[in-house]
Every structure is written in structure tokens, then in C-alpha cells.
């Protein structure tokens, strides 16, 4: 069976959930990761639905997912694959976070676990792919930070969120 069709032979439907990394992943000029998926699945009439929302965290997504799923329920077929790419905003340093995006790593994992469980209970045949937050270039981040505020992101902090997501995915 081709990876571009599901078990019943219908074109694959992918839904990407995340923050601005996902949202801007559809930008052609940047060869974004969501755009690449769209290009790969387009020839077989596959569908990629980008649900990236800039600035969002797992705390915002967890309760919103149930509402978002209701919209998918009207689709001809449920999603075959849902990607969850969250953690970059959750890992913002709490002391320097003016927008209060920071989410404690334990709450972050609980939110992700809730989201995955909800997806599996609603769409039993759907696969869920967890995508860790990307590494932070400390030198570049600190260089571009405002002198009075400091950097909002640090690689060691973000790495804790990535490791926690990997551990959740291995369960």
C-alpha cells in the first residue's frame, strides 16, 4: 500500500497542530515543513490541514483541541495523521516572559498527554506524531535580545521540553 493512501484506499488526511513554527511552516519561500508535506501529498489528492496558531502553548491547545475536533467531524474522513509541534513557547524562560507563555514542563507533558488521549479516543485509527521543539541558538538569541530584557529562550530549557516529549512518545 502506498503511504499516500490510508487503509481503505482513500487519500491521506494530515492535520498539523502547533504554534507559529507550524503556522509559518506553510510558507513556500522558506520551504517550510508543512509546505513540503502539502507538496508531497498533493499529487494523490491528499489533504494537509495546518492548525498552527502563533504564540499558542500546550496550555491553550489542550482545551481548544476538543472544539477543533468538532470541525474535523464534518470532514468526509477523519484524519489519518495528526502532528503536534508544541513546546517552543511553553519553554520560554519564566522570569523574562512578559506574555506569560511559560508552561511548567510537568503541565506541558500533562497537556500533551491529554491531547494525544483525546485524539486516540475520537479517532482510534489516527496516528499521532509528536514533534519536539527545535534547539535554540543561544549565541544568536542572546545577541539579538533587548539589553534590558535578556533572551526569552535558552537551549537547555527548551531541551528539557524536547526530552520530556520524547519520553511521552516512548510510553
What confidence category does residue 6 fall into, taking pLDDT thresholds of 50, 70 and 90?
A: confident
Whether residue 65 is contained in a domain is answered as yes
2 occurs within a structural domain: no
Active-site residue flag, 26: no
> Considering the domain boundaries, does residue 100 fall inside one?
yes
Instruction: Print the domain residue range for 91.
Output: 13-170
Please give the Cα distance from 120 to 39 (Å, whole number): 27
Q: How far is Cα 164 from Cα 33, in angstroms, rounded to an integer? A: 22
pTM of the model: 0.85
Give dist(CA 96, CA 153) in Å, integer: 9
Tell me phi and psi for residue 9, to 5 degrees: 85, 5
User: Is residue 6, in this structure, part of any structural domain at all?
Assistant: no
Confidence of residue 1 (pLDDT cuts 50, 70, 90): very low
Q: Are 92 and 101 in contact (CB under 8 A)?
A: yes
Asked if 59 contacts 87 with a C-beta cutoff of 8 angstroms, the reply is no
Residue-wise pLDDT for 11-20, tens only, equals 888 999 999 9
Total structural domains in the chain? 1
Which of the following is catalytic: 20, 26, 58, 151?
20
The CATH number of residue 148's host domain is 3.40.50.1110
pLDDT of residue 143: 55
Q: Determine, yes or no, domain membership for 3.
A: no
Torsion on CA atoms 37, 61, 163, 36, rounded to nearest 10: 10
Amino acid at each position: 500500500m502506498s503511504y499516500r493512501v490510508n487503509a481503505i484506499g482513500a487519500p491521506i488526511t494530515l492535520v498539523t497542530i502547533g504554534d507559529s513554527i507550524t503556522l509559518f511552516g506553510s510558507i513556500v519561500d522558506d520551504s517550510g515543513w508543512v509546505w513540503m508535506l502539502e507538496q508531497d501529498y498533493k499529487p494523490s489528492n491528499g489533504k494537509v490541514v495546518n492548525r498552527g496558531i502563533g504564540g499558542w502553548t500546550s496550555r491553550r491547545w489542550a482545551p481548544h483541541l476538543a472544539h477543533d475536533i468538532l470541525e474535523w467531524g464534518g470532514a468526509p474522513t477523519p484524519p489519518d495523521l495528526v502532528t503536534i509541534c508544541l513546546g517552543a513557547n511553553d519553554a520560554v524562560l519564566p522570569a523574562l516572559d512578559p506574555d506569560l507563555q511559560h508552561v511548567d514542563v510537568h503541565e506541558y507533558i500533562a497537556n500533551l498527554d491529554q491531547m494525544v488521549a483525546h485524539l486516540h479516543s475520537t479517532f482510534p485509527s489516527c496516528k499521532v506524531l509528536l514533534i519536539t521543539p527545535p534547539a535554540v541558538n543561544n549565541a544568536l538569541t542572546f545577541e539579538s535580545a533587548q539589553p534590558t530584557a535578556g533572551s526569552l529562550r535558552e537551549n537547555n530549557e527548551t531541551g528539557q521540553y524536547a526530552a520530556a516529549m520524547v519520553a511521552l512518545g516512548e510510553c
